[in-house]
Amino acid sequence: MTLGDWISQPVNWVFSALGLAVVFSGFRVVTAKNVVHAALYLVGALAGTAGLFLLLSAEFVAWSLVLVYIGAVVVLFLFGIMITRAPTGLDPALDTNRKLVPGVLAAAVFALMTWAAFDAFGVEQITSAGVATDNALLGESLLGRFVIPFEVVSFVLLGALIGGITIARRDLTPVEEEERAAV
Amino acid sequence: MVTAMVMAVAEGVVQAGDGGFFADTAGIMLILPFVAFALIMTVGKRLPYHGGEIAVAALAVNTVWATVLFVMNMTGGVLDQTTFEIGSIGSGLVFELGWVVDGLSIMMYFLVNFVGLVVFVYALGYMHGDRRLEWFFAAFSLFAGSMLVLVGAPNLIQLIIGWEGVGLASYFLIGFYWEDLDNVRAGNKAFLTNKVGDVGLILGAILVGVSLGTFDLAELGAAAAAHDEALGAVAVAGGLLLFFGAMGKSAQFPLHIWLPDAMAGPTPVSALMHAATMVTAGVYLMARVFPLFEYLAADTRQLMVVIGAITLLGIGLLALVVDDIKRVLAFSTVSQLGYMMTAVAAGGYTAGLFHLFTHAFFKALLFLGAGSVIHAVHSNNMSDMGGLRKEMPTTYWTFVVGSLALAGIFPLAGFWSKDEILATLGQEGYITVMWVAVAGAFVTAFYMARCIALTFHGTYKGHGHPHESPPIMTRPLVALAIPSALFGLLNIPGVSLPGIGSFTEWLAVREVVMGDHHAEAIDFGLAAIGLAAALAGLALGWLVYGKDAVTQMERDRFQVPLLYPLLRRKYYVDDLALGVVGATTGPLARFVNWTNNYVIDGVINIVGGAVKWLGGLVYNGLDQRGVDGVFNGLSAMTDGAGSVLRRWQTGRVQQYASAFVAGAIILVVLFVFVV
Amino acid sequence: MMEWFDSWGLTVIVFLPLLGALVMGFIPSGNEDGLKRTALVASGLAFLASIYLVLQFDFGASGYNQYQFEVTETWIGAINASYHLGVDGISLPLLVLSTFIVVLSVIYSWNHWDEPYNPKAFLILMMILATGMNGTFVALDLVLFFIFFEVVLLPMYFMIGIWGDKTPRRIPGFRKEYETRLYAAIKFFLFTLFGSAFMLLGFLALYFESGDVSGVRTFDIPTLTELGATGAFTDPTFAFLVFGALFLGFAVKVPMWPLHTWLPDAHTAAPTVGSVLLAAILLKLGSYGFVRISLPILPDEAMSWAPAIAILAVIGIIYGSLACLAQTDMKRLIAFSSVGHMGFVMLGIATLTDVGINAAIIGMVAHGLITGLLFFLAGSMSHRYHTREMSRLGGNIKLLPIIGGILAFTAMASLGLPGLAGFWGEFMSLVGSYNPLSGLPLGVFRTSMVLGAVGTVLTAGYMLWMLQRVNLGEPSAEWTDHDLGDADRYELASWVPLIVLIVVIGLYPRLVFNSTTEAVTSMVEMVFGS
Amino acid sequence: MTLTQFLVIGAALFALGVYGLLVRRNLVLILLSVELMLAAVNINLVAFEAFLVTTQAIGQVFAIFVITVAAAEVGIGLAIVLMIFRNRRSANVDDLSLMRW
């Protein structure tokens, strides 16, 4: 398949737009000078990812991503940013000033993975394009073959829930104790 | 007139029995002192005599046992050996402990126990009120036990155990007053000098034992008599090594340096260990392995005789110039050990051992007498004594008996034994050495006359009013004076006492074929020469010192230029030995330590530092973009490897993460592209 | 019961301490008595089990490559590594020594703690250490051996690094001062890791080569031993490299000159019990490795390395003794003495004769008892004096008669006094080197014998010197008003058994020989064909 | 549509995550970077599923798992950040040098 063939498929236009959006948002996530902006760019990146999932006919996963991530996780992040009183304005001290090595390393990772992808798969087509995954199949798989991991994950979530509360809970200072008692 | 005396039992000269109950249980003698040691260490503090009574009781039982054996051996000969295996190795190496009951060991049992008992009793009085009495008696018991283990040894291994055991006890007792580090140093000197000799003993034992396949002494003797080939191959080297061990313990020149210093111990210790018994262990060893020298290693004799001769005359001369009465006796002991060693080396098995036997009594007597004097005047120096003959009659007379016996005056014990040595030397063709020995007899008599004159005659020069020691100390003197006077009669050449034979025959009761060379009759001419030399020495000594000079300077009228300083400095042997050891060991040790810390460790530290520095350089170089990084790296290098190391170890999680990612990338690249 | 013990007794001995550590994990650190008792029970049971093992041991059937109480279970099937434990006459004394010393260490720890205290962590580390040590002596699979060998490393690293000596020390080659414990711990760790990395390479090489020669790749020590005896690993380059790799691994642990420099630092910095375990048992892992793995599997190569080993051993003897004479720190002196004593052990092994190897094993046992006791004493003394500088000590025997007396006794034992345990190892390795395996250069070994014997004089020299400076003389004035307190009952309870054993083995070495001689002799016969 | 194009997007996102992880000093931002990397993983998983079409939609199932675990991770991670912030009044990793010797 030549580049021409590739561009002639309309779906690839959609893909390109989404991909660029994802990469751009991702780039801003790691470079933004403002913490809130970074979190918001993450929303962009994740939304783009969800779009890519839709292209791959994984509807359930796409919407899960939107709901769980954009709906819950990012909100959590924003909470975290507020609570830790990270400077919401421009903050030059947000990054370390040693960017060369991480840059090189990241580039190397990208190069390596890209090379691996081309080397292994070249331009092979995706077979299931356009056929939406049956959600029933997904459900059966989740609660059938993968039921034990499923349960384990639920425990992990529970653990994380309890753990998060335990870790983040603050012992009241004596003054606060008194205040609470007074109320 | 040489007689190679063949195994007495085989020839029917003496009908040896197996000793019955007393021989079977002779091991009790070896064990009792150790039991006493343990008891004294545990309950000694609570007893009225601080454990002295336990030690005396143990030796008393032992003495009874030894005396019974001694008498049995006199009348019928006793030959027995009992061993227990304590371990063995597949290739036939067997280690055993046990006890030998034969002529030689019975003589030593009797000697050690009898003299030991007398000295222990004496010590009850001498040490009364001293500090750490229980430790004194415990260590003394330890010595007695080790000595018995040594003389009862059926094999070289047990002999080595006893050998080092007595060395240990000697170390403890020389350094008995360890608050003063000088005494400790004397103990160290003794132990280390002995240890040098022990290298010879251990290597000799290995050579002989491995070639023979056994460490058993009886088998060693038998193999030597049978001219065993394997043994013959190592006989000269092994014999010399064993002799080297004997030189250490029996204080032969030049390993004699420890013995005079060993006088730092309490006087009973000097009497029992550093005169009567322990120092004779070397002679005993030479007698035990006598067949080796007789049959296989005769080549070594010349050397051994010469060393003995140097010791007997050279070290004897040193006794002329010292002021410390114990040191006079110590030098005398070394000299007498030279006699014994010369005799045994020359082939005079009986002659050497007989001198060992008689010497033990009169030298112990002399030391105890000296102790009695020291006890009275609270000083070791003869310049603080004088005129004690009236205040201390018993001490005086017994001391005189001992001195005359030592000098070799007829008919006291020393006369007979010394005469026998002279006779053996003469008959074996060591004529020069014989004359050296005669000269030695002269010197001996001379310094003993000097000693008596300065100590007991003239006027008292010390402080306070000395008076005779209590009976608990004087009675042991008498108990030793009697054998000192009479025991020479046990071995008059050619005379066999009715019913009991002679010392020569008792000693000959051994399991192995022996090769003793001894005189069959008295050589009156030689005896006269020896006696004349001794008398001349006595007379000259009396002439010079009898008139009692007032000061030390005048008393030592023999301040011959060159010779006097030479003798005072003990031929510089001590200085040389200490100088060499001090000049080499210390710097060598420091050098080794320095190498360890700076060379070996230095290399390791530098490698470690360099690796970390390299890491730092790579990281910082990349990080700080080229030239800057290099310069920083260089400055880091000058800053020392250590500080660079810290930079690598930043504690910054992200730097670690970078390293992790980099590592992962490298691994992937390796696996994908290289492998 | 009996049959069960036959196959699982060793597992019990090895893992009981670990079980104890697990139980202790659930005991709150406030409950010190509970912790100590648990540790004592776990180690004590392991010790009793090892005694029971000795009683059940068939001394008549401990020949070449013959193991008892064997257990073989599939473990990592993919690489054919199995859970294979077994004990023979060579490992039996060392196993008992190991369980024994651990019990004594627990007893000693009852009221002796180095800062920063924390008995729970310390005892747990000690129990893990015990499992590693016991396991190494009975592992019959190279992977298992390696794992146990390495398990020992971490607890000791933490013991030194956490409870060690905090005095700042200037390290030669470094600008700044570092805490002794940090330097020592890292040095110990890196050295041992360096060695064991090579050792692992050697093991892997054997694994693959065994596949090439016999068709089945195996880590099994008895199988490899058999292959070795039939000359399977005689390819010169291969054997040289493998033996060299194993040599590095074991020699660091022994330690042999010049790989010894971690030892003085580690010993000096380690807490008392750490030093004791280090000296008494950890060092033996190396020499045991030589006897169990290097010699039987690569006999031909062992013969060509033997002279070199002997020379290094003798250098170690002389060098260690001389270095002792330059020390000012009592613990460091004792540490250096280990270099000398282990030199005798290695000299014994290098002779490749049954005499020499027996000497090495009894030497290991004796060194474990004697040097262990010396470190106990040094630790107890520095607890009291708060210094190890010999120039400040002196007159110890007057201040602390019992400790001083035991110190004198132990020093005598350490200098190889005949009649005490230390003598046999030294004497017999000299005997062995007089008559090494035929084919070995006589000159080298006999020179080694003479130099080794001279080394005993130096040993006596530094031991007496130490006694003179530490024990004898008048005590320094600075201690006059101190109530130092002589040995307490816990100390005595942990020392007296050692003293008794030193005397008993000294007078009756058969206790050890009875177990070792058949295994060693038949091994030497089969492997070196003497 | 080719498989590779999705993998490249995944790789890019992952590399960006690595970069962020290594340069960001604020702990919250580091967590954000981790989320990016997880998203990259999800893209790969789903893309492979679409390419291979397994009978049980394994790729998508795993993506769901990843999302879930990521949610848990964010919860815990933020809690830890919160606590560190409380104790040290800072959410910068540079200030956390406890591991330094």
The arithmetic mean of pLDDT across residues B594-616, rounded, is 73
What per-residue confidence (pLDDT) applies to C65?
81
Q: Which helix (H) or strand (E) holds B436?
A: helix B431-456
pLDDT tens per residue across span D25-51: 888 888 889 989 999 999 999 999 888
Whether B280 contacts B338, CB under 8 Å: no
Contacts of B672 in chain A (CB under 8 A): 116
The yes-or-no verdict on residue C352 having pLDDT over 60 is yes
What per-residue confidence (pLDDT) applies to B641?
47
Helix (H, G, I), strand (E, B) or coil at C400: coil
What per-residue confidence (pLDDT) applies to B338?
92
What per-residue confidence (pLDDT) applies to B113?
92
The yes-or-no verdict on residue C188 having pLDDT over 90 is no
Whether B625 has its CB under 8 Å from any CB of chain A: the answer is yes
pTM: 0.76
Whether A145 has its CB under 8 Å from any CB of chain D: the answer is yes
Give the HSE-up count for residue B10: Cα atoms under 13 Å, Cβ half-sphere. Answer: 9
Give the HSE-up count for residue A168: Cα atoms under 13 Å, Cβ half-sphere. Answer: 19
Of B652 and A145, the structure prediction assigns the larger pLDDT to: A145
Among chain A residues, CA nearest to D2: A125
Of A25 and B129, the structure prediction assigns the larger pLDDT to: A25
pLDDT tens per residue across span A136-183: 888 888 888 888 889 999 888 888 888 888 877 766 677 777 777 776
Give the domain CATH number at A65. 1.20.120.1200
Give me the domain span that covers residue C226.
2-528
Q: Is residue A147 part of a domain?
A: no
The yes-or-no verdict on residue B579 having pLDDT over 50 is yes
Give me the domain span that covers residue A56.
3-96
Q: Hey, of B149, B195, B639, which one would you mutate to test binding to chain C, going by the most C CBs within 10 A of its CB? A: B195
Of D35, D79, D94, the CB nearest to A167: D79
Please give the single-letter amino acid code of residue B541.
G
Q: Which helix (H) or strand (E) holds B623?
A: helix B601-623
The yes-or-no verdict on residue B622 having pLDDT over 60 is no
The yes-or-no verdict on residue C303 having pLDDT over 60 is yes
Rg (CA), chain C: 22
Please give the single-letter amino acid code of residue C183.
Y
What per-residue confidence (pLDDT) applies to D96?
57
Q: Hey, of D14, D16, D84, D94, which one would you mutate to test binding to chain B, going by the most B CBs within 10 A of its CB? A: D94
The arithmetic mean of pLDDT across residues C82-99, rounded, is 91
Contacts of B131 in chain C (CB under 8 A): none
- The C-alpha atoms of residue B277 and residue B147 are separated, in whole angstroms, by 8
Q: What tokens appear for B424 in the block?
A: 């053996």
Pairing label, strands B80-89, C177-179: unpaired
What per-residue confidence (pLDDT) applies to A141?
87
SS3 letters for B515-551? CCCCCCCCCHHHHHHHHHHHHHHHHHHHHHHCCCCCC
- The C-alpha atoms of residue C408 and residue C397 are separated, in whole angstroms, by 9
The yes-or-no verdict on residue B439 having pLDDT over 50 is yes
What per-residue confidence (pLDDT) applies to C171?
65
What per-residue confidence (pLDDT) applies to B627?
44
Q: Answer whether D5 sits within 8 Å of A76, measured CB to CB.
A: no
Contacts of B669 in chain A (CB under 8 A): 112
Q: Answer whether D21 sits within 8 Å of B654, measured CB to CB.
A: yes
Give the HSE-up count for residue C530: Cα atoms under 13 Å, Cβ half-sphere. Answer: 21
Do chains C and A touch, with touching meaning 3 or more CB–CB pairs less than 8 Å apart?
no
What per-residue confidence (pLDDT) applies to D7?
92
The β-bridge partners of C35 are none
Of B506 and A41, the structure prediction assigns the larger pLDDT to: A41
The yes-or-no verdict on residue D95 having pLDDT over 80 is no
Among chain D residues, CA nearest to B653: D93
What per-residue confidence (pLDDT) applies to B5?
36
Dihedral (Cα; A74, A79, A80, A82), 10-degree rounding: 130
What per-residue confidence (pLDDT) applies to B619?
60
Q: Answer whether D46 sits within 8 Å of A83, measured CB to CB.
A: no
**Residue C483 φ then ψ, to 5°:** -95, 100
Of B619, B658, B665, the CB nearest to A112: B665
What per-residue confidence (pLDDT) applies to B628?
47
The yes-or-no verdict on residue D99 having pLDDT over 60 is no
Q: Which has the closest alpha carbon to C341: C405, C403, C404, C410?
A: C410
Residue B79 pLDDT grade (very low, low, confident, very high; cuts 50, 70, 90): confident
The β-bridge partners of B216 are B155
The arithmetic mean of pLDDT across residues C111-125, rounded, is 84
Of B579 and B647, the structure prediction assigns the larger pLDDT to: B579
Q: Is residue A23 part of a domain?
A: yes
Query: What is the distance in angstroms between the Cα of B671 and the nearest Cα belonging to chain D?
Result: 19
The arithmetic mean of pLDDT across residues C353-358, rounded, is 90
The β-bridge partners of C87 are C68
Of A10 and B106, the structure prediction assigns the larger pLDDT to: B106
pLDDT tens per residue across span B476-499: 889 889 888 888 888 887 777 777
pLDDT along chain A (183 residues), means of 10: 77 89 91 85 91 88 87 82 64 70 89 88 76 82 88 89 79 72 70
Looking at the structure of chain C, the number of domains it has is: 1
pLDDT tens per residue across span C15-57: 999 999 999 888 888 888 888 899 999 999 999 999 999 998 8
Sign for the pseudo-dihedral over CA of C114, C115, C119, C121 = negative
Contacts of B212 in chain C (CB under 8 A): none
Residue B667 pLDDT grade (very low, low, confident, very high; cuts 50, 70, 90): confident
Residue C311 pLDDT grade (very low, low, confident, very high; cuts 50, 70, 90): very high
The yes-or-no verdict on residue B630 having pLDDT over 50 is no
Of A96, A101, A116, the CB nearest to B622: A101
pLDDT tens per residue across span B256-269: 888 888 888 888 88
What per-residue confidence (pLDDT) applies to B12?
44
* A-proximal residues of B, 654-673, CB under 8 Å: 654, 658, 661-662, 665, 668-669, 672
Q: Which has the closest alpha carbon to D74: A161, B661, A83?
A: A161
What per-residue confidence (pLDDT) applies to B14?
47
What per-residue confidence (pLDDT) applies to D100?
45
Q: Hey, of B627, B665, B673, which one would you mutate to test binding to chain A, going by the most A CBs within 10 A of its CB? A: B665
- The C-alpha atoms of residue C179 and residue C185 are separated, in whole angstroms, by 10
The yes-or-no verdict on residue B159 having pLDDT over 90 is yes
Chain B residues with a Cβ under 8 Å from any Cβ in chain D: 646, 649-654, 657-658, 661
Q: Is residue A110 part of a domain?
A: no
Among chain A residues, CA nearest to B664: A109
Of C481 and B434, the structure prediction assigns the larger pLDDT to: B434
The secondary structure of B146-179 as a DSSP string is HHHHHHT-SBHHHHHHHHHHHHHHHHHHHTSSTT
What per-residue confidence (pLDDT) applies to B650?
55
Of A98, A100, A109, the CB nearest to B665: A109
Looking at the structure of chain A, the number of domains it has is: 1
The yes-or-no verdict on residue B596 having pLDDT over 90 is no
Rg (CA), chain B: 32
pLDDT tens per residue across span B215-248: 888 888 888 888 888 888 888 899 999 999 999 9
Q: Answer whether D100 sits within 8 Å of B650, measured CB to CB.
A: yes
Q: Is residue A66 part of a domain?
A: yes
Q: What tokens appear for B320 in the block?
A: 């002329």
What per-residue confidence (pLDDT) applies to B606?
75
Which range (A58-67, B640-649, C60-69, C396-405) has the least confidence?
A: B640-649
Fold entry, domain D3-89 = Helix Hairpins (1.10.287)
Which range (B313-317, B460-464, B619-623) has the least confidence?
A: B619-623
Contacts of B188 in chain C (CB under 8 A): 464-465, 468
Contacts of B594 in chain C (CB under 8 A): 326
What per-residue confidence (pLDDT) applies to B204?
92
What per-residue confidence (pLDDT) applies to B625?
44
Distances (CA, A) of B640 to A105, B595, B636, B649, C262: 30, 21, 7, 15, 22
Of D90 and B106, the structure prediction assigns the larger pLDDT to: B106
Chain mean pLDDT for chain B: 82
Contacts of D4 in chain A (CB under 8 A): 117-118, 121-124
Among chain D residues, CA nearest to A78: D28
The secondary structure of C86-150 as a DSSP string is EE-TTHHHHHHHHHHHHHHHHHHHTS---TT--HHHHHHHHHHHHHHHHHHHHB-BHHHHHHHHH
Q: Answer whether B192 sits within 8 Å of C261, measured CB to CB.
A: no
